[in-house]
Structure 1
Amino acid sequence: MEPGPDQTGILAGYTRRKFIYNVSTAVGAGIVLSSPLMSLAAEPVKKEETYTVKQIMDLFIKDVPGGAMAETVDTLKSGSADTKVTGIVTTMFATIAVIRNAIDLGANFIIAHEPTFYNHEDKTDWLQDDNVYRYKANLLKEHNIAVWRNHDYIHRLVPDGVTMGVLDQLGWQQYADKDLPNLVNVPSGPLKDLIRHTKAKLNIEKVRYIGDPLQKCRRVLLYPGAAGRVTHIEGIEKYKPDVLMVGELSEWETAEYVRDALAKGDNIALVVLGHIASEEPGSEYMLNWLKKNVPGVKATHVPSGHSLTYM
């Protein structure tokens, strides 16, 4: 937090006050920022400081309980940590389309939530002769673009940054449990209305589900992404939700459990949003963090879009 004005005089308070503005936007628009006190100042207003890729990464990691992890997939996938950042793009996947968008925006730093090179650890030894990999890697190198995966760290925020992004987009913040935000008590209504609301807010064309569309639902257990069968099933048993809402699952695991629970007579439904749709709001959360903590660098969210469509 900035210190308050010095009570001994307006001039002393002014010379210590930090004025924050987006230099790139102001210059691009031909705007000159001025102040009626400018002539009284001992020194001119300073421009925003520049940041390297590493400095921005470190700023975010400082907010994470426990700080830097010894083992994580959240590493640079391309570029240098010493690169001075000209602009940032947040996204779920650093797809070729997203990379081209970043180039058009003049951004040389992409913060992605998921892998860049088609496997969790982004190992590329098996891809060295693959034409798609080589095209993508060369495109990043040619334009000097750094890609950082922010997956483990954003999920380790308290509360989880991705979950908070989803709750915000769904308009469910006020309904979330204070101690476990994944547990949401929404206004009671039929499953079909819950699904309709979710599709509209998360921009989903269709979802897969198990359950009676007319089933009354209030208690929702929300697991964005791919939390896995153990988390799904143990969550159902522990929290007794009316609806389990997930990003993705193995059909032969969680889905079969819910089908059997329904046959047993339990009041339960399952809604499968899709991995990208369920976690994209986490990249919006990242965008808002950047605007708050790195205000002098232009940041843009570029949705990677859904990889699969329905016929």
Structure 2
Amino acid sequence: MKKPASNSITRRRFISTSAICAGGLALTYVSPAFAGNVLAARYTVQQVIDLILKEGGFSPVPNTVDTLKSGSGDAIVTGIVTTMFATIDVIKQAAKLGANFIIAHEPTFYNHSDDPNWVNNNSVVQQKQALLKKYNITVWRFHDYIHRLKPDAVEYGSIKKLNWLPYFKGDSPTLSIPPTNLGALVQHVKTSLSIAHLRVIGDLKQPCSRITYLPGAPGGKMQVDFAERDKPDVLIVGELSEWETAEYIRDARLLGSKIALIILGHNFSEDPGMDYLVEWLQPKLSGVKITHINCGDPFVWM
């Protein structure tokens, strides 16, 4: 969710010098179902990345995390998968689809900079790198830049799925929807975003119409800043530090405020943006199949 400031570095440089790769991958594994696409598409990974940057009208972001995490920019693209997290299951599904390029919004190796040595001798990282190499899959993170689209594509994708586009201004996460109550709003969010369970603070019977939607994990300061500035009836967030925003909401209510809180979970709050990326990118890439895979909720609710 956090959006770094821009600076003047070349687009090619931020990809090539910052990439953390599992090793050079030769283009040898191609699913028979997609073998024809290698010749039909004729795009390399780097060409697709360059096209995205050009079409987005982006200024280069310094120290961006939007780099290659595996594979090669020279690989010929046989298919693209968009997702939130390039999980083991997503990697296997991509291989079955014959797609060798995954565009993921969040880290592949469990830390923000995708440093594979964040924990030394991490056996899970090593096995994941081996799987990516086996299927010759290139992973590129699309985090800093997608949030800089106008409007923010992650937020836009969620608002679209929530059927709130008529109330969306684009330059603000706060919007006014037709009056409802918190219980009905919770059910609408669950149904629209296909979420089985939500965490909520508030009276389910209380009226609400003013919503602030902050997907991902922008941090307690931003969440509380918007709550104080925009005075929403309901603050909807991806995830939070429980000792920050949740305690602020609890005390605010104990002091007489009617502000409510809905916690979606990080994946569900931003996944609609990666789904919307297919709609945004597909018309710009003729001959390349782009598929969205929702990596789902890692938790089991007891």
TM-score (norm 2): 0.85
Distance change (3 Å), C-alpha of 1:65 and 1:229: farther
2:13 alignment partner in structure 1: none
Aligned 8 A contact 1:190 1:213 in 2: yes
Is 2:65 aligned against 1:73? Answer: yes
1:171 to 2:154 alignment: no
Equivalent residue number for residue 112 of structure 1: 104
Deviations 1:95-138 (A, max 9, x none): 00000001100000000000000101000124452221111101
The amino acid of 1:276's aligned partner reads N
Question: Counterparts of 1:260 and 1:126 in 2: how far apart (Å)?
Answer: 37
Match of residue 279 from structure 2: 288
In structure 2, the residue matched to 1:276 is 267
What residue ranges of structure 1 are gaps of 5+ in the alignment? 1-23, 29-46
In the TM superposition, 1:45-84 aligns within 5 A as: 49-84=41-76
CA separation of 1:126 and 1:176: change in aligned 2, threshold 3 A: closer
Aligned to 2:73, what secondary structure does the other structure show?
coil
Output the CA distance in 1 between the equivalents of 2:287 and 2:281: 9
Q: Which residue number in structure 1 is paired with residue 250 of structure 2? A: 259
- Does structure 1 conserve the Cα–Cα contact (< 8 Å) formed by 2:111 and 2:118? no
CA deviation profile, 1:121-168 (whole Å, cap 9, x unmatched): 000124452221111101111211100000000001111010000011
Unaligned stretches of 5+ residues in structure 2 = 1-32
- Residue 203 of structure 1 pairs with residue 203 of structure 2: no
Larger radius of gyration: 1
The change in CA–CA distance for 1:179 and 1:115 in structure 2 (over 3 A counts) is closer
Matching residue's letter, 2:164: W
CA RMSD between the two structures:
1.7
Q: Where do 1:1-311 residues align within 5 Å?
A: 49-127=41-119, 129-180=121-172, 182-311=173-302
Q: How many residues align?
A: 268
Q: Distance in 1 between matches of 2:144 and 2:118?
A: 24
Q: Aligned partners of 1:126 and 1:221: how far apart in 2?
A: 34
Secondary structure, in 3 states, of the residue corresponding to 2:145? Answer: helix
TM-score by length of 1: 0.83
Give SS of 1:152's match: coil
Letter in 2 for 1:175: Y
Measured after TM superposition, the shift of residue 285 of structure 1 is 1.4
Partner amino acid for 2:295?
S
Task: Give 1:178 deviation, angstroms.
Answer: 4.8
- The secondary structure found in structure 2 opposite 1:115 is coil
In 1, Cα distance between the equivalents of 2:41 and 2:200?
49
Cα distance, 1:229 vs. partner?
0.9
Compared CA separation, residues 309 and 286, structure 1 to 2 (3 A): same
- Distance in 1 of aligned mates of 2:117 and 2:41: 38
Letter in 2 for 1:253: E
CA contact (8 A) 1:154 1:161 kept: yes
Q: Deviations over 1:2-22 (max 9, x none)?
A: xxxxxxxxxxxxxxxxxxxxx
Counterpart amino acid of residue 232 in structure 1: Q
Distance in 2, matches of 1:286 and 1:178, equals 17
Q: Deviations over 1:57-80 (max 9, x none)?
A: 111112345422231001000000
Q: Determine if contact 2:58/2:145 at 8 Å carries over to the other structure.
A: no
Say if 1:236 and 1:244, in contact at 8 Å, map to a contact too: yes
